[in-house]
Structure 1
């Protein structure tokens, strides 16, 4: 990738110090940071939650942990309970205020910082002292993270954007929110999927799955995520009830994940005669997910609300057709009828009808899966790093 950059520009990139303030440096960021560091060797990640390098990406970028992160729910319990059934609840992330000292010591020219957090506020407040540019990383737009019903939060965000040099976001929904609600200048908002997986993160895990959960009737529809109301597993199981009532029983729902709703939904499965269709795999480590993608036929994201939905593009990388909730930001990656379908998660009959298509027409699985994989050739960590490099050049020249 570096050979595509003119020598003078490449030399300049070698000297730039880029700080990334990632509150949670999840495993999914590592392929991106590794490729970004190949363009900007002096880049450094500062995080409050560091899980360690995943195999294949050891020491691929500089990282330093700054304190810890604690997340507190805000609002009254009644409101929180209602929100938890539909989407993200209101919360506040407590982060170390020492990040300012780390930035002043590091002396970056550009600071990428996630969302409108306290770290972003500190980066903005010290901008004049450190003489750096600020880029806000805003994963995507959903009601639970946009706070469009909070006058105080919106005022805060609109004030902050006056001092921000650029925004990056995964999708058009995020761009629309930042421009139309927050008031960012359109030319300063860069919309392109950047949370993109790398095949190398999964290559060594193909045989780690318990055969008992994958040697089952096909097609295997894979659900991967927390077993909580927001993820929409209950609505997916309701679609299965409808399928069974129509005489469709020769398929499998493979549930990878665990959570507070597990027992409740296990009882639902037993009470509604779905025990032969549902396989519970339990919690899986990030590095083991490749095995489940490998064994599945179709991926389902049934979330009622999802800022992005990394599992969608992961499944696409593994050449799987996608059934994606319209409540997920990654729904923009789905071309209806080509690599999958987008559905309303609150309409189980709609989902049941789409699942039935794959049961009735198994040949469509491979065809749509190939289309998913083809789409992903345009979305690689290398391409993302190049895009982020263009954002760096933009803010330094503006």
Structure 2
């Protein structure tokens, strides 16, 4: 089966999925993307897997007020329509049996036009949830309902994505689940190879005497980092135990967070700054629990990464991955817009400090089932659904 995936952008976590999907379809996967966005290391990895079937395009025009790369904005807070001259022609030249696209926008227009003109079955990988799309607006929603006629099957992140698609009327019998998966093998291996001496030195440097709660991500409004700091202040006023909150990452709110810590004299917070991905394993091994207070995330990849490193998870209810990955046996789900909800969760982490290691082992077990092979199979299943739908309903 010849599959052409029009993706515009991708990161390292996609490479194992591309590799597994390529093997499943008989080494007939082609990936078309925009050369200016993925890091060179990631493009090199894709080339190593697909060779000439990794097609990097160099031209793009953008309509709207959003930059070509923007991970900080909340969903639907701006608009960007990217157009690559010649993309549709190039996609058609690959002569696919099935098309795969990412989301309703980006470069999906090429798959939609090819499906409309040539009748090629079209699978879309979709990540959004009811929460991230709560402000989508009537025009965006009407567009999605209209173009869904040229989407034969959709592979969802999880149940929260399915709930949103049900709201816009997409049929459940043409959905599969599970295309989003973190590349956790390298990170978990690096954690296993990190010595106890390295961990001890790091904890001493961070000032962690007992329980260490770790956040890894951008320090931006969308991640709820300010809400967590303010809740941490209230928590420390009530809790006298030795527990340290460590932020790994940088971003627009770094200065604001520093000032807040100083003004309120908030204890036991460490702002470690940005840490290179290749050097982050000791932080995961040193931690006792992982926390992510995001106000809006489709599927936080740091969650399965932390789980693969053996950490229990405290996550926001606005994180699309929590129904699949976070359960009472391995973590907590809280509302970051409710300070008391965060405080109660922090108190629970401290209260169950003796159980955190075992909870982390449950995390390992849960995430072990979310593999690149499983993700690739869900996409293949969607491809077969799309082909059958085309056969039944014609062009």
- Equivalent residue runs for 1:246-325 within 5 Å: 246-248=238-240, 250-274=242-266, 276-325=267-316
**RMSD of Structure 2 on Structure 1 (CA):** 2.7
- Are the counterparts in 1 of residues 130 and 163 from structure 2 also a CA contact under 8 Å? no
Partners of 2:176 and 2:379 within 8 A in 1: no
Task: Specify the alignment match of 2:392 in structure 1.
Answer: none
Q: 1:99 to 1:354 in 2, by over 3 A?
A: same
Q: Which residue of 2 aligns with 1:47?
A: 33
d(CA) in 2 for partners of 1:215 and 1:19? Answer: 51
Q: 1:364 to 1:266 in 2, by over 3 A?
A: same
Equivalence for 1:363? 354
1:177 to 164, 175, 185: 164
* 1:200 CA drift (Å): 2.6
TM-score (norm 1): 0.85
The Cα of 1:88 is off from its aligned counterpart by 6.0
CA contact 1:313–1:330 (8 Å) conserved in 2: no
Q: Is the 8 A contact 1:224 1:256 kept in 2?
A: yes
Query: Is residue 188–residue 309 contact of structure 2 (8 Å, CA) maintained in 1?
Result: no
CA distance 1:248–1:24, shift in 2 (3 Å): farther
Provide the secondary structure at the position in 2 that maps to 1:28.
helix
Q: Structure 1's 337 and 118: CA in aligned 2 closer, same or farther, altered over 3 A?
A: closer
Cα distance in 2 for residues equivalent to 1:257 and 1:72 = 31
Deviations 1:241-290 (A, max 9, x none): 1121114351121111111110011111122223x512222223444443
Aligned counterpart in structure 1 of residue 11 of structure 2, from 16, 26, 36: 26
Contact 2:284 2:306 in 1 (8 A): yes
2:138 corresponds in structure 1 to: 151
Which of 55, 60, 70 in structure 1 is aligned with 2:49?
A: 60
**In 1, Cα distance between the equivalents of 2:236 and 2:282?**
28
Kindly state the Cα deviation for residue 95 of structure 1 after the two structures are TM-superposed.
3.7
Describe the shift of the 1:299–1:261 C-alpha distance in structure 2 as closer, same or farther (beyond 3 A): same
SS of equivalent residue, structure 1 residue 279? strand
In structure 1, the residue matched to 2:69 is: none
Q: With CA pairs under 8 Å and 6+ residues apart, which has the higher RCO, 1 or 2?
A: 2
Change over 3 Å in CA distance of 1:285–1:142 after alignment to 2:
farther
Question: Are 2:87 and 1:99 aligned?
Answer: yes
Q: 1:156 to 1:247 in 2, by over 3 A?
A: closer
Contact 2:6 2:111 in 1 (8 A): no
- In the other structure, the counterpart of 1:196 is 182
Question: Is 2:122–2:152's contact at 8 Å kept on the other side of the alignment?
Answer: yes
Post-superposition offset of 1:154? 1.4
**Which runs of 5 or more structure 1 residues have no equivalent in the other structure?**
1-15, 76-82
Structure 1 residue 392 displacement after superposition: 1.8
Which residue of structure 1 aligns with residue 393 of structure 2? none
**1:136 and 1:167 in contact (8 A); partners too:** yes
Structure 1 equivalent of residue 115 of structure 2: 127
**How many Å separate the matches in 2 of 1:364 and 1:191?**
31
Secondary structure of 1:126's partner?
Answer: helix
Distance in 2 of aligned mates of 1:395 and 1:282: 45
1:201-239 Cα shifts (integer Å, max 9, x gaps): 553476599836556233211111111111001111112
Unpaired runs of 5+ residues, structure 2, are: 67-71, 390-395
The equivalent of 1:38 in structure 2 is: 23
**2:228 matched to 1:236?**
yes
The reply to whether residue 391 of structure 1 matches residue 382 of structure 2 is yes
| Alpha-carbon contact 1:142-1:305 (below 8 Å) kept | no
State the Cα deviation string for residues 76-101 of structure 1 (Å, max 9, x = none).
Answer: xxxxxxx96x7662331424132212
User: Helix, strand or coil for the counterpart of 2:246?
Assistant: strand
Instruction: Please state whether the residue corresponding to 1:112 is helix, strand or coil.
Output: strand
Q: Taking structure 1 as reference, are residues 73 and 331 closer, same or farther at Cα in structure 2, changes over 3 Å only? A: farther
Q: CA deviation at 1:313?
A: 1.3
SS in 2 for 1:368: helix
